[in-house]
Amino acid sequence: MLADQVDAVFYQRLSRILRIVIPSIRSKEAMLLVMHSSLLIFRTAISLYVAALDGKYVLVSMHLLQRIHPTFPG
């Protein structure tokens, strides 16, 4: 398993790299990372909302088409 291959050395190296990339919690880099992550989460939520609306629109359209044309498959 991959989880078995990750050891303490990996976490030490990752910690060193993160300290270089994000020098402090209040740094510009940290704020950019937080903003970017927040926007990605927001975009995902909006995408899920639009997909749900799309599904409702398709169901209503199919229902209307079946009422207008009873031979419409669905």
Dihedral, 38, 41, 44, 50 alpha carbons, nearest 10: -70
Query: Is residue 74 pLDDT above 80, yes or no?
Result: no
Give pLDDT tens digits for 8-27: 889 999 999 999 999 999 99
Tell me if 73 is assigned to some domain.
no
Tell me if 74 is assigned to some domain.
no
Distance CA 16, CA 55 (A): 47
Give pLDDT tens digits for 57-71: 888 888 888 888 887
Tell me if 8 is assigned to some domain.
yes
Residue 41 has a pLDDT of 98
Tell me if 40 is assigned to some domain.
yes
Give pLDDT tens digits for 23-55: 999 999 999 999 999 999 999 999 999 999 988
Domain that holds residue 28: 2-68
Please tell me the total count of domains within the chain: 1
